[in-house]
Structure 1
């Protein structure tokens, strides 16, 4: 009964030593001679401790869990290619990447990265191939020296080699997100173990088992390849790895992020719905901080740039705020026309992955938007109707000026200045003004 134990997108769990220890404990509980442990990307970053350790904190988890194979997610390149290579060299698992290239060679070739491999369990040979979303070049600017082949074609190429090597089962380790269905429909494999999207998944597509554990180490998915079934196991209740928990508790203390910068009386939620369903208190807080730091007319922050986690409540530390925006890019000041502001608001609405999502949190702006017509009905800055020909000062995060997949209207040419790193701006704003955001009707979706 060959089994796969699948984790993915654990990123923020490094800032929760107890849950991280229970994740390791759950994997140990499920492990056996018939099982392979595999990860499908974004398992080194982002997060507060990852930001400080440049992703190297993941090695301690990998050494404790001893995964068999892993592929790259877009955030695994957040700190540059050399940092990624260092993690690959130091970690025990086989890294698989069939479609990521560095010049004329596969990325990580010298560090032992291969496109695919065949691994043996007690009673089967399992062929594994890893692929990464080609949009990684835009989502993680420090990966922009890489090129990405068509992942579906890369998988097809490797499957022939794996069959020739005598694999009994064929499995894709995918950080493709919404492309997993197309992959399952195109290639003949037993399972597509996915990541990138944070919504858990246990489904069959074209007869192929397709899974996602969800983000931040809350669960492990167990796939029975012989039966073609999958089960999601929560880490709650697992016996924690005490040594791992102590190690990460010590690392958090040493990171110097424990200073209290404000107090929250009413908890500020940051669940998925608070990030993508329109205006939220957490989004208003972030956008207000950016506008305050740059003295801008208005501000815009992408919903995906706010990470899910426990609500801000009680005493709030620098680490708490860094967990909201755990990236090392600065806040940027851009000059945009009113027409470009209108375009940004149109780009803020998405139907990707079958969902209607609002991708922007704003400050100084009020927007009324018709989702059915994809039309901005009303747009105001400082209470006044936006003039398409006027120039406005817009605060945002620098990432959006170089990552064209979310707000393509913004470009590096729009930048005219910058402030501190994002979480430092949040901390400074909290010290200066407190933390008590309100919903004010900034975004009205029809």
Structure 2
């Protein structure tokens, strides 16, 4: 198994002499995020075109891991894959029910079909979802939670989640009643609350994404808020795993598209203080772990249904409609006119880079 390993070591000033030989107690954390609709195994160029990824491989991988462990997901389920978008979240509810997630969170992109659609997905899953700064008419929207506490081998761990407030608050018309509070203030409040409840270590499920115009990011959060042990990042849409350390807070992004899983090993001393953190980016290789038959079968059925929808006839074109990056685009004009008409807007603009192909002559499908 090819494993990219990064070792972070935190040595306190008091750690000297015989303390260096103290036995440390591990807590294993596994993390997925930004699946973006890639729920099946496929040939991956970054793994030499070996088949990798998907929930069926993930489940088999987890069966090779010793318990107990914590398993989290950071949301961002749709992305560019039509297999994710056309199910409107149904694939998450169908494929992850038997995967032992401890908890999950969501990003603003999971609200693309509105809160009622996301709520229907979340309430079908057996594990809790945590978003601490999202409010519906002043309250955490049911069935979300503002925090959770788990105990692993005597270590009491508090978990809370954050969503990007700019993305939520600018879409008040589409996300009626939903608002997102300042993540820094909420993080301070949650850290204080969890410490009052006696937690030894705090994990943040952060869907803040890239640094915002107001400067809020996972790194700035770690710089401004004390007692955050681990920030699990999502909503970044990057292919590879990334790590950082700010003020003794470890920040991990697991990479997108579920072709690997992030593994964080926390090592605690006898006083329940973290002394060492190790990170692995583990490829989910089908040839190494195999696939869970039930999940693989259901994923294949979902993909077949998606292909059927994508092949559905939308229209017949008497001639092709061209596009262009260097001149006025006939297809761009057509799409802008459609947006203007269907959405009842005051105007519409299309970025030509988002138009990948011309429309063909003859039968035009959903995929086209």
Which of 353, 356, 359 matches 1:429? 359
1:156 corresponds in structure 2 to 188
2:164 to 122, 133, 136: 133
The alignment of Structure 1 onto Structure 2 pairs a total of residues equal to 295
Q: Which whole-Å CA distance do the structure 2 matches of 1:141 and 1:213 have between them?
A: 33
Alignment of 1:24 with 2:52, yes or no, is no
Instruction: Map Cα deviations across residues 163-192 of structure 1 (whole Å, 9 max, x no partner).
Output: 122212111110012300011111221111
Aligned to 1:228, the other structure's residue is in SS state strand
Q: Indicate how the Cα distance of structure 1 residues 214 and 233 shifts in structure 2: closer, same or farther if over 3 A, else same.
A: same
Residue aligning to 1:203: 244
* Corresponding residue number in structure 1 for 2:229: 190
Q: Structure 1 residues 412 and 245 mapped into 2: Cα distance closer, same or farther (>3 Å)? A: same
2:112 aligned residue: 78
1:381-407 per-position Cα deviation (integer Å, ceiling 9, x unaligned): xxxxxxxxxxxxxx9x78xxx9xxxxx
Alpha carbons 1:130, 1:172 under 8 Å: kept: yes
- Post-superposition CA distance 1:4-44 (Å, at most 9, x none): 101100123136577312233333333521x1100112136
Conserved? CA contact 2:38–2:84, under 8 Å:
no
Q: Relative contact order: is structure 1 or structure 2 higher (C-alpha 8 Å, sep ≥ 6)?
A: 2
Q: 2:155 aligns with which of 124, 147, 169?
A: 124
Quote the residue 1:146 is aligned against: 178
- Per-residue CA shift, 1:184-212, capped at 9, x if unaligned? 11122111110111332122122211100
Deviation at 1:122, TM superposition (A): 3.1
Q: Aligned to 1:414, what secondary structure does the other structure show?
A: coil
Stretch of structure 1 that moved more, 2-11 or 121-130? 121-130
- In 2, the alpha carbon distance for the partners of 1:172 and 1:286 equals 44
Partner of 2:273: none
Given that 1:126 and 1:170 are in contact with CA atoms closer than 8 Å, whether structure 2 keeps it comes out as: yes
On the 8 A contact 1:128/1:172 being kept in 2, the answer is yes
Note the 1:40-59 alignment, pairs <5 A.
Answer: 40-43=74-77, 47-59=81-93
Q: Once the two structures are superposed, what CA deviation does each residue of 1:240-294 show, in whole Å capped at 9, x if it has no partner? A: 2222111110111123146499xxxxxxxxxxxxxxxxxxxxxx97979x94446
The structure where helix makes up a greater share of residues is 1
The counterpart of 1:332, out of the listed 323, 336, 345, is 336
| Distance in 2 (alpha carbons) for counterparts of 1:286 and 1:139 | 31
How far is 1:85 from its partner? 0.7
Question: Residue 234 of structure 1 aligns with which residue?
Answer: 283
- Stretches of structure 2 lacking an aligned partner (at least 5 in a row): 1-25, 43-51, 212-216, 268-275, 314-321
2:35 paired residue number: 10
Q: Distance in 2 between matches of 1:245 and 1:92?
A: 20
